[in-house]
Amino acid sequence: MDVSPNAIPDVVVRRLPIYARSLAYLAEEGVRSVSSQELGERIGVTAAQIRKDLSYFGEFGKQGIGYNVEYLLGHIRRILGLNEAWPVVLVGAGHLGRAIARYEGFRSRGIDIVGVFDADPTKIGMELGKLRVQPNTDLPAMIRQQHIRLAIVAVPAHLAQEVVDGLVENGVQGILNYAPVVVQVPEGVWVRHIDPVALLHSMTYYLAREEERAHTG
Amino acid sequence: MDVSPNAIPDVVVRRLPIYARSLAYLAEEGVRSVSSQELGERIGVTAAQIRKDLSYFGEFGKQGIGYNVEYLLGHIRRILGLNEAWPVVLVGAGHLGRAIARYEGFRSRGIDIVGVFDADPTKIGMELGKLRVQPNTDLPAMIRQQHIRLAIVAVPAHLAQEVVDGLVENGVQGILNYAPVVVQVPEGVWVRHIDPVALLHSMTYYLAREEERAHTG
């Protein structure tokens, strides 16, 4: 079966890592098989959704038996390209960048931050776990020599586009952007955004409405 | 017009803060009016999508003139309940929690972190900007006395559910969860997740496929 990657809706692709994460916890707990119902409850989606999502990639579950946790986890990891670790560069060594560099949850899930870069001379040389902050000018050489295709951007909003342009120019094709601004990239480059304030605002919407109802209802 | 909040799709609610963020940049730049086309290009959605999203909340643009930036921004901010600042508690003062506490982008966008809490005695009293880390045991009193409805959770995965249960029990109704685990909450409580690794994995999916094609194509 030769499924074009474009045939899988992006919303499904975004859920696969959550399935993998949950299956990894189950495997750690020694659980050998799980029904789509149980998995769905853990993840907060319906059993039907899980079955539909996974059906894009083949036949996994057996009626009445459920999914073999290790097998399904292994398969999803391969689908996600996680059979080997991905080297990632991190740009920005401010408070957030430093916290990201020190976060231990990356390596265990196949993400290997191999370099931290900043333009600020006062940050160069700073030790962050096993890494040492390098000047931005060293970034192109590292990306090219180590064939790095993923980057994390944790710079102020007004610098983000320039940083992203430089990354893309040197071959980076996937960017996790923490700067609170939408960056423009050419076709074939992927960007995911993390904006905690926007997520909080999408909740204040509901809370404000509730308050209104409480006062008028 | 009495639109029930449930009538607006959550995906639209999630885009509104991005519109607000982009309009705020435009306002700062002194831009007075913007077309749905221009706004869409900045945000990475189509003009039609923007017009459709905003139509849930009334009539804004004028044919051929575009949106008045200040007016639309003010309206979206009211829709999101951002006419006043929201007090928020932060649980977890590890590397990530400390970076969150120090992040200056919250207050300017109506999110006011009023307390940082941790269970670890070695972290209590640590100064983070204007805040000082308090013991988790002080959390219920602060939530109740200050009527706090929003919380940010930055604790290890195995502690997240317990922390969330405590928050909800004391009246928190919206949770931004940085722990890499889906937490269960009762009806009427909102949770948004931030999992940088899952977002990176949703990009390795595409990159791995491209590599495959490059090798076989």
Categorize the per-residue pLDDT at A14 as very low, low, confident or very high, splitting at 50, 70 and 90.
very high
Amino acid at A90: L
Residue of A nearest to B101 (CA): A95
Alpha-carbon span B23 to B25, nearest angstrom: 5
Residue range(s) defining the domain that contains residue B136: 86-197
Token pair for B91: 């649980």
Domain boundary pick from B79, B96, B114:
B79
Among B99, B190, B199, the residue with its CB nearest the CB of A98 is B99
Nearest Cα residue to B116 out of B96, B129, B131, B103: B131
Query: In terms of DSSP H, where are the helices of A44-145?
Result: 47-55, 69-79, 95-102, 139-145
> Is residue B205 in a domain?
no
Alpha-carbon span B165 to B115, nearest angstrom: 18
Model confidence at B210: pLDDT above 90? no
Domain boundary pick from A55, A79, A103:
A79
> Is residue A216 in a domain?
no
Q: In CATH, what number is assigned to the domain containing residue B159?
A: 3.40.50.720
Q: Could you tell me the sign of the dihedral formed by the alpha carbons of A47, A49, A53, A59, in that order?
A: positive
Among A22, A42, A196, the residue with its CB nearest the CB of B176 is A196
> Is residue A202 in a domain?
no
Pairing of the two strands B150-153 and B174-177: parallel
Q: B160 and B175: one domain? A: yes
Structure confidence at residue B215 (pLDDT):
66
Model confidence at A1: pLDDT above 50? no
B153-198 tens-digit pLDDT: 999 999 999 999 999 999 999 999 999 999 999 999 999 999 999 9
- Chain A partners within 8 Å of B176 (Cβ): 196, 199-200, 203
ipTM of the complex: 0.93
> Is residue B135 in a domain?
yes
pTM of the model: 0.91
The answer to whether the CB of B91 falls within 8 A of the CB of B167 is yes
Q: B115 and B12: one domain? A: no
Alpha-carbon span B163 to B117, nearest angstrom: 11
Inter-chain touch A196–B181, beta carbons under 8 Å: no
Helices A47-55, A10-28: crossing angle, 10 deg rounding = 110
- Stretch B23-41: mean pLDDT, rounded? 94
Q: In CATH, what number is assigned to the domain containing residue B62?
A: 1.10.10.10
B78-117 tens-digit pLDDT: 999 999 999 999 999 999 999 999 998 899 999 999 999 9
Inter-chain touch A149–B18, beta carbons under 8 Å: no
Alpha-carbon span B167 to B149, nearest angstrom: 9
Domain boundary pick from B79, B102, B130:
B79
Categorize the per-residue pLDDT at A58 as very low, low, confident or very high, splitting at 50, 70 and 90.
confident
Q: A9 and A75: one domain? A: yes
A104-146 tens-digit pLDDT: 889 999 999 999 999 999 999 999 989 999 999 999 999 999 9
